[in-house]
Amino acid sequence: MKFFIDTANLDQIREAEELGVLDGVTTNPSLMAKEGITGKNNILKHYVDICAITPGDVSAEVIGTTFDQMVREGEELAELHDQIVVKVPMIRDGVKALRYFSQKGIRTNCTLVFSPGQALLAAKAGATYVSPFIGRLDDISSDGLSLIAEMREIYDNYAFETQILAASVRHAMHIIECAKLGADVMTGPLSSIESLLKHPLTDIGLEKFLADYKKGNA
Ligand code: E4P
């Protein structure tokens, strides 16, 4: 399972990279705004900066909502760096754009996916990654993880190469359940990855080992 971090914060990306488990980065317009990155040139430069410190794929989202706008923006984003994956929303023109990019060999991440039907459509259109937002489904009392299970079944039935990128991940249990269900990738904040580290018995055990060592080597 690949670990992506969902942020536009360079320090957090560096920190995840130093931990040694980072495979890629996803961003979105809200995350860019949160870091105060505004204006086209600054945004494009920021993507290049992210690519420079990330070992793998970096999703960069288009803002346009028509086919022509998405194609123009996506081609420009893809030109920036070979790690860039063009993030396209699950809307009618987005599906057309996914097909266009797939035929041109430009890799894509279909975002804002909330149903198995949308996931099937995106795979049919040739998306490289499809991002079901599991946390946001949970937020409306729906079951985000069951969407991952449905997608896995559908993609396996037809051997789609499209990768399931479990997005809007919030905590350790999301990551563990996604791994059990066979999601190809997860993306979430650094805190969700770090929460995998924690277990009270590890802390208690380590404390005892060190105390015993100290006693024996006093
Ligand atoms: C996915 O690529 C999105 O950027 C992201 O995971 C959305 O997560 P959120 O629901 O925490 O905003």
The secondary structure of 41-107, three-state, reads HHHHHHHHHHHHHCCCCEEEECCCCCHHHHHHHHHHHHHHCCCEEEEEECCHHHHHHHHHHHHHCCC
Which residues are part of the catalytic machinery? Answer: 87
**pLDDT score at 37:** 97
Distance 166 CA to ligand 1 centre (A): 9
pLDDT per residue as tens digits for the range 161-218: 999 999 999 999 999 999 999 999 999 999 999 999 999 999 999 999 999 999 999 8
Atom of ligand 1 nearest to the CA of 187: 6
Query: In this structure, which residue's CA is closest to atom 6 in ligand 1?
Result: 168
Distance 174 CA to ligand 1 centre (A): 13
**Residues with C-beta less than 6 Å from any ligand 1 atom:** 6, 26, 28, 111, 131, 133, 135-136, 167-168, 187
pLDDT per residue as tens digits for the range 16-44: 999 999 999 999 999 999 999 999 999 99
Atom of ligand 1 nearest to the CA of 189: 11
pLDDT per residue as tens digits for the range 35-72: 999 999 999 999 999 999 999 999 999 999 999 999 99
Atom of ligand 1 nearest to the CA of 109: 2
**pLDDT score at 201:** 98
How far is the C-alpha of 30 from the C-alpha of 37, rounded, in Å? Answer: 10
pLDDT per residue as tens digits for the range 81-108: 999 999 999 999 999 999 999 999 999 9
pTM over 0.85: yes
